[in-house]
Amino acid sequence: MTETILRVRDLSTRYFTGDGQINAVSDFDLEIDRGEVFGIVGESGSGKSVTARSVMDLIEPPGEITAGSVEYRNADFAEAVADDHPEAVDGEFVDLRRIPDEARRSLRGTSFSMIFQDPESSFNSTLTVGEQLAEAVEVQRRASARPRSTRARTDDYSLTNYLLSTVLPSQRYVSKESRERAIELLELVGIPDPVERAEEYPHEYSGGMLQRAMIAQALAGEPDILIADEPTTALDVTIQAQVLDLLDDLQEETGMTILLITHNLGVIARMCDRVGVMYAGEIVERGTLSDIFDDQVHPYTEGLLGSIPDLEGGAARSAADSQAAEPRDDAGGRLQPIPGNVPSLIDAEMEPRCQFADRCPKAMEECLEHPPEYDADGSESHTARCVLAATDYSEARALPEDYFGETERPAGEKHNEPDATDPDADSLEDRSQQAVDNPGGEQR
């Protein structure tokens, strides 16, 4: 039986900059089941990282979460906060935006953990990797030593830690147990010679090894939910595949829930149960892998799928071959560019229409209104913020090519069967040809 563990509703995050208000994430909804791997994919600037940071409450000025709720299901936690903050509790769910910062932070590491593209940012260069993992373990021990509480935790641990540290060989380890657990974690994530490697500093690790160590650090608190923002993008293809395998195995063993952010559709296909396609701060289409890869509705999703990166090559290669791995290909695994510009998210420049309309080969008059999430064919979780989920494309209602002025609108794709009942059917072909002849989309 599945149950929802994370429920995000109407979340909006804005940046208040000199250029104006930037609508990085708008009215964002998301539900993730316990044990599920949910992927978010989209072009650069679509709001993926801001979404992840908003869920983790890591938005910093000039950014601000301006609306919405982030509800986390945990019966014990709900009970603990119910007395002081009844308004934040809905059954077993707690709205993390309606509890004090301190209570919310108490969930970091133990309920929620995050891993980033850049592992250096997660480590302190002056401490050994083992010491830092031990500290993460200790955070979990403290949290589980007493029931979760919204009241401040008294700090009697520091005295204990001090006493322990004076009798241990390594002064910086919090306790013998946490040191041992740190080594176990390094072993768990596949770091060879973990006893020796624990004594090394972050700069002594290779990129792939440090990425593994960061995963170990994130897992130290046995989180319910792991948020992974482009966790393998900085790695070469072979190492990417190894790290993804590791995440996959760990997910299976621990049953943790993962929110995986990537702009690599190969990673999505390999790791995820369901996926949300993000554009201009919204999920524009979501569903199971087969909904998105085989039954997609939104022309933006189609555009992203124009090229599925090859991750399998890396995956299939054996460890022995990896020495001779091809040089890293920056384009490999990245989304292919879709013609037209990434939309401005500056509030004053945004219109209440489909944000993709100015790049869409199938934009119609209806697209000038902001589309709701329509149910789409396929699984019951398949939805699309696109009128094409509710109505067929009609050439008669198509917006003129130059409707959005300078912006280039690519022509309709050739494989679209012209609607047999549409008298203007072949003009679609004509328009395609024009766009090919005149890719800049300039006026004739």
Ligand X SMILES: Nc1ncnc2c1ncn2[C@@H]1O[C@H](COP(=O)(O)OP(=O)(O)OP(=O)(O)O)[C@@H](O)[C@H]1O
Could you give the dihedral angle defined by the CA atoms of residues 166, 170, 172 and 174, in that order, rounded to the nearest 10 degrees? Answer: -70
CB 254 within 8 A of CB 222: yes
Q: From 43-51, 170-178, 245-253, 266-274, give the range in contact with Ni ion by CB under 5 A.
A: 43-51
Instruction: Determine the size of the site formed for ligand X (CB under 6 A).
Output: 16
Binding-site member from 26, 30, 39, 47 for ligand X (CB under 6 A):
47
Q: Which of 20, 35, 45, 100 binds ligand X (CB under 6 A)?
A: 45
Residues 131, 218 contacting (CB under 8 angstroms)? no
Q: Which of 430, 441, 434 is nearest to 339 (CA)?
A: 441
Contact call for residue 301 and Ni ion (CB under 5 A): no
Q: How far apart are CA 398 and CA 393, in angstroms?
A: 8
- Backbone conformation region of residue 20, classed left if phi is above 0, alpha if psi is from -120 to 50, else beta: left
* DSSP states of 220-234: TT--SEEEEESTTTT
**69 binding partner (options ligand X, Ni ion, none; Cβ < 5 to 8 Å by kind):** none
CA atoms within 13 Å, Cβ hemisphere of 377: 9
Does residue 441 bind ligand X (CB under 6 A)? no
Stretch that binds ligand X, among 45-53, 208-216, 251-259, 425-433 (CB under 6 A): 45-53
Ranges of H-type helices in 370-440? 425-437
46 lines the binding site for ligand X (CB under 6 A): yes
Q: Rounded to whole angstroms, how far apart are CA atoms 240 and 310?
A: 12
Candidates 14-22, 401-409, 412-420, 421-429 — which segment interacts with ligand X by CB under 6 A? Answer: 14-22
- Per-residue contact flags (x/-) with ligand X for residues 256 to 295, judged by CB under 6 A: -------x--------------------------------
Q: Write out the two tokens for 240.
A: 């990417």
CB 133 within 8 A of CB 122: no
Residue 214's binding partner among Ni ion, ligand X, none (Cβ under 5 to 8 angstroms by kind) is none
Least Å distance, CB 46 to ligand X, is 4
- Residue from 13, 46, 49, 106 touching Ni ion (CB under 5 A): that is 49
Strand positions, DSSP E, 280-347: 282-288
Question: Would you say 314 and 238 are in contact if contact means Cβ atoms under 8 Å apart?
Answer: yes
Q: How far is the CB of 308 from ligand X (least distance, A)?
A: 17
Rounded Cα distance between 150 and 288, Å, is: 37
| Triad 385, 6, 135: Cα angle to 5° | 130
Q: Is 15 in the site for ligand X (CB under 6 A)?
A: yes
Name which of ligand X, Ni ion, none residue 44 binds, using a CB cut-off of 5 to 8 Å depending on partner kind.
Answer: ligand X
Q: What are the tokens at 300?
A: 């933006």
Give which of Ni ion, ligand X, none residue 378 binds (C-beta under 5 to 8 Å, depending on kind).
none
Q: Does 309 bind ligand X (CB under 6 A)?
A: no
Q: Provide the minimum distance between the beta carbon of 305 and ligand X in the complex, in angstroms, as a whole number.
A: 17
Pick the piece of the chain touching ligand X (CB under 6 A) from 16-24, 188-196, 246-254, 265-273.
16-24
* Letter string b/e over residues 122-136, b meaning 16 or more CB atoms within 10 A of that residue's CB: bbeeeebbbbbbbbb
Stretch that binds Ni ion, among 49-57, 66-74, 332-340, 367-375 (CB under 5 A): 49-57
Q: Does 48 bind ligand X (CB under 6 A)?
A: yes
- Of 6, 41, 50, 235, the one binding ligand X by CB under 6 A: 50
Q: Contacts with ligand X in 344-363 (CB under 6 A)?
A: 345
Place of tokens 């609508």: 23
Residue 343 in the binding site for ligand X (CB under 6 A): no
Tokens of 43: 């072009």
By the rule CB under 6 A, 49 interacts with ligand X: yes
Q: Which region, judged by CB under 6 A, interacts with ligand X, from 46-54, 85-93, 147-155, 355-363?
A: 46-54
Binding site for Ni ion (CB under 5 A): 48-49
Binding site for ligand X (CB under 6 A): 15, 17, 22, 24, 42, 44-50, 62-63, 263, 345
